[in-house]
Structure 1
Amino acid sequence: MTYCVGLKLNEGLVMLADTRTNAGVDNISTYRKLFTWEVPGERAIAMMSSGNLSITQGVMTRLNRSIQQAKADDSVETILNADTMFRVAQIVGDVMREVQGRHSEALEQRGAAADATIMIGGQRKGGQHRLFLLYAAGNFIEATDDTGYFQIGDHKYGKPILDRVLDKTTPIQEAVKAALVSMDSTLRSNLSVGMPLDLAIIRTDTCEFSHQRRIEPDDQAFSEMSEAWSHALRGAFQSLPGNFES
């Protein structure tokens, strides 16, 4: 299973992903699900993936192959020379359809799910920072002021905190804490989501990553935040008003 969350705020984008891949109780592995590309000052793009690992790895491999081909042939369109972030999402959608068309039927005949989802966030110079959610069919939706975040994977445990504390004016620092608490809630309730975690931040109009970090299981700052959140929840619960036995 997977849990990834992407936040679109006035101050920028926050992307957070776990790394656990679960193909059964005796087949648990660690694979990166957050991928980044950067031309500092010109564009920064992050993608997070969930679903069939062979499908999503195939998509990332093809995207990177096109980037390499464009070095020798500037007529090759890639996510690093597309003229808008919307076009970036279209390119990824086209590649998703190609990979699905090649493998999905064979996978489904063998009883394996071919579903895959990719979240795409980024900004290019002269454009706005944008966040898209791309489905297995290659179609996608975009985050708006009304719905400023996306989740992929097992999202039910991490959603309540986001709904309660986030809006587009939330500062980046507070949004990062909200994303981490959302992830912590999921880690505690779903064994198929696991550390380490990958975090990336793109601040508005910088067109580069202001922060990229892997959070390991023994990370002190994350452990302190997790314990503080648990303590705060216990205190809030104990202070709730109401006597329903009278």
Structure 2
Amino acid sequence: MTYCVALLLDQGIVMLSDTRTNAGVDNIATFSKLAVVERPGERVIAVLSAGNLAITQAAVTRAIEGASAPIGADAPRTLANAQTMFEAARVLGEAVREVYAHDGKALEAQDYAFDANFLIAGQIKSERMRLFQVYSAGNFIESTPDTPFFQIGEHKYGKPILDRVARFDIPLEDAVKLACISLDSTLRSNLTVGLPADIVIYRRDALKLASRKRILSDDPYFNSIREGWSHALRNAYRELPPPPWPMS
């Protein structure tokens, strides 16, 4: 399993994912679930993926590199040449469908579900920032200011803090804190999610990443967030009033 979150805000974009994959308690590995297409001054597109690793890797690779085109045909559409972010989401969705057409029946024959979900966000020159969630069927939905974040994977543990605090107009720095808190909440409750984690930060209209970082288990900032959030929760719990009804 995995955990991925993406926030689309007035100031920019924050995307965070863990790197753990597992096929049982004794078969755990680390794979990045983040892919970035960056052409400074022209486009930044980032993709997070959750689900069957073979499916998601194949779909993302196809979206980035394109399928083999017949001789004389136009070059395939990719994330590098999509004209809009909507088209980029369509390129990824079509890549998912192509992988299903190639591998779907073989997976079903082995009782494997075609499980793949994606978050794709970014900005192409002359267009606004956009965030989409792409499903296993290749269709997708777009984030709006009313719903400024999407999650995929093991999302239920990190969702409560986002539901309470995430707003379109919060500062980008606060979004980084929220993403880290939501990841920490998931790490504490689900062993199928684990560090290291990958995070990208993008500021609106910059057309280049502000930051791309791998968070390790000894990362001082992430650990300060973990400890500070636990301390704040304990203090908030203690300061709540006791129940007014009889207890004996």
Q: TM-score range by the shorter chain?
A: over 0.9
The aligned residue for residue 37 of structure 1 is 37
Indicate conservation of the 8 Å contact 2:68/2:76, yes or no.
no
Structure 2 SS opposite 1:112 = coil
Indicate conservation of the 8 Å contact 1:107/1:114, yes or no.
yes
Mean CA deviation greater in 97-106 or 176-185: 97-106
The aligned residue for residue 171 of structure 2 is 171
The aligned residue for residue 92 of structure 1 is 92
Whole-angstrom distance in 2 between the partners of 1:226 and 1:242: 27
Whole-angstrom distance in 1 between the partners of 2:66 and 2:106: 25
User: Offset of 1:208 from its aligned partner?
Assistant: 1.2
Whole-angstrom distance in 2 between the partners of 1:176 and 1:235: 23
Structure 2 SS opposite 1:82 = coil
The aligned residue for residue 158 of structure 2 is 158
Q: Once the two structures are superposed, what CA deviation does each residue of 1:83-110 show, in whole Å capped at 9, x if it has no partner?
A: 1100000011111100011112211221
- Residue 241 (str. 1) matches residue 219 (str. 2): no
Indicate conservation of the 8 Å contact 2:120/2:134, yes or no.
yes
Whole-angstrom distance in 1 between the partners of 2:100 and 2:156: 27
User: Offset of 1:245 from its aligned partner?
Assistant: 4.4
Whole-angstrom distance in 2 between the partners of 1:194 and 1:187: 6
Indicate conservation of the 8 Å contact 2:64/2:79, yes or no.
no
Note closer, same or farther for the CA distance 1:224–1:81 as it changes in structure 2 (3 Å cut).
same
The aligned residue for residue 206 of structure 1 is 206
Mapping for residues 54-203 of structure 1, pairs under 5 Å: 54-66=54-66, 75-203=75-203
- Taking only aligned residues, the RMSD between alpha carbons, in angstroms, comes to 1.6
Q: Unaligned stretches of 5+ in structure 1?
A: none
The aligned residue for residue 217 of structure 1 is 217
Whole-angstrom distance in 1 between the partners of 2:81 and 2:122: 13
Indicate conservation of the 8 Å contact 2:44/2:124, yes or no.
yes
Whole-angstrom distance in 2 between the partners of 1:167 and 1:67: 38
Indicate conservation of the 8 Å contact 1:67/1:80, yes or no.
no
User: Offset of 1:68 from its aligned partner?
Assistant: 10
Whole-angstrom distance in 1 between the partners of 2:223 and 2:239: 25
Mean CA deviation greater in 56-65 or 193-202: 56-65
Q: Once the two structures are superposed, what CA deviation does each residue of 1:162-199 show, in whole Å capped at 9, x if it has no partner?
A: 11111000000001000100000000000000000000
In the alignment, residue 6 of structure 1 is paired with which amino acid? A
In the alignment, residue 132 of structure 1 is paired with which amino acid? F
Structure 2 SS opposite 1:99 = helix
TM-score using structure 1 length: 0.95
Structure 1 SS opposite 2:155 = coil
Whole-angstrom distance in 2 between the partners of 1:50 and 1:125: 28
Aligned length: 243
In the alignment, residue 93 of structure 1 is paired with which amino acid? G
Whole-angstrom distance in 1 between the partners of 2:39 and 2:111: 41
TM-score using structure 2 length: 0.94
User: Offset of 1:242 from its aligned partner?
Assistant: 3.0
Whole-angstrom distance in 2 between the partners of 1:89 and 1:238: 46
Whole-angstrom distance in 2 between the partners of 1:211 and 1:81: 23
Mean CA deviation greater in 75-84 or 87-96: 75-84
Structure 2 SS opposite 1:128 = coil
Note closer, same or farther for the CA distance 1:75–1:167 as it changes in structure 2 (3 Å cut).
same
In the alignment, residue 13 of structure 2 is paired with which amino acid? L
Whole-angstrom distance in 2 between the partners of 1:112 and 1:122: 32
